[in-house]
Amino acid sequence: MSALPLVMLHGLGITSAVFDEVRARLPAGVETRPTELPAAPHVDEMAEQILAAAPERFLLAGFSLGGYVALAIMARAASRVARLALLSTGPTADAPAASGFREKLIGLAQSGKYDSVPGRLAPAMFHPARKDDPALLDRFVAMSRDCGPDRFVLHQRAALSRPDRSALLPTIAVPTLIAVGRDDQITPPALSEGMARAIPCATLVMFENCGHMAPLEKPAELAGALTTWLQNAPGDGRAS
């Protein structure tokens, strides 16, 4: 298993606490570095700030918006990343419908109605069987509160302006885990399937009965997928 630290990048509107249950299930000795995404309006700017603070060589896992930033890191400094995990994310730019919804959420946050945002997001974030789960919703709301409206708006701007990184995928030469919930409405599994075909050294894992929030919905399964990814010898990834 790699002795390099694992830098973990969270999603939009939440914090690195989304990885708490996953980290607790990883093997002893794995050094995790959950990293708060910088308050910046562009994924490229976030990538630069993260690289400036990261070790010279590291493992990288990005969830949702963190995956967009992870791809920006790969575009800039692929030689510094020994392994890559793309979790509930995709390589494409924002679709028009998603951009319109983001603008509405930005408007709410800027008009003093940020507290209503988690409730608007939850139905799309979680599997239908979990969208009313009080424990999960409480954690989601708590992370949203810790993120705060100002950072939320900047991160929405970053998601809105992100470039299409599809052309980057065939150049990724490190063992890459691609993981997604089977019922993810935010980043549909077809995106993950396409990434797995495009990245030469990719392994695709889908979590059954899981929506977008895999780190909260399926922490044990995600930890298991990450453990296998950490233990694989370089170059033995495979799409499935």
Q: Where in the chain are the domains?
A: 1-240
How does strand 32-35 pair with strand 58-63? unpaired
Residue 192: which residues within 8 A CB-CB, separation 6 or more?
A: 86, 90, 178, 179, 180, 204, 206
Degrees, nearest 5: CA angle 152-65-121? 55
pLDDT of 212 > 80? The answer is: yes
pLDDT, residue 234, reads 54
Per-residue pLDDT of 144-161, as tens digits, reads 999 999 999 999 999 999
CATH placement of domain 1-240: 3.40.50.1820
pLDDT, residue 240, reads 35
Beta bridge partners of 33: 7
Reported as a pLDDT band with limits 50, 70 and 90, residue 130 is: confident
User: What is the mean pLDDT of the segment spanning 58-75?
Assistant: 98
User: What is the mean pLDDT of the segment spanning 97-115?
Assistant: 96
Reported as a pLDDT band with limits 50, 70 and 90, residue 67 is: very high
Q: Which helix (H) or strand (E) holds 85?
A: strand 81-87
User: What is the mean pLDDT of the segment spanning 131-155?
Assistant: 95
Reported as a pLDDT band with limits 50, 70 and 90, residue 233 is: low
pLDDT of 1 > 50? The answer is: yes
Closest alpha carbon to 211 in 114, 136, 148: 136
* % of the chain residues with pLDDT over 70: 96
pTM (2 d.p.): 0.94
Amino acid at 139: R
User: What is the mean pLDDT of the segment spanning 2-7?
Assistant: 90
pLDDT of 239 > 70? The answer is: no
Reported as a pLDDT band with limits 50, 70 and 90, residue 132 is: confident
Reported as a pLDDT band with limits 50, 70 and 90, residue 6 is: very high
Token pair of 96, please? 């028009």
The rounded mean pLDDT for the chain is 94
User: What is the mean pLDDT of the segment spanning 94-99?
Assistant: 91
Neighbours of 33 (CB within 10 A): 17
User: What is the mean pLDDT of the segment spanning 66-82?
Assistant: 98
Residues in the chain: 240
232/4: higher pLDDT: 4
pLDDT of 238 > 90? The answer is: no
User: What is the mean pLDDT of the segment spanning 203-210?
Assistant: 97
User: What is the mean pLDDT of the segment spanning 156-167?
Assistant: 97
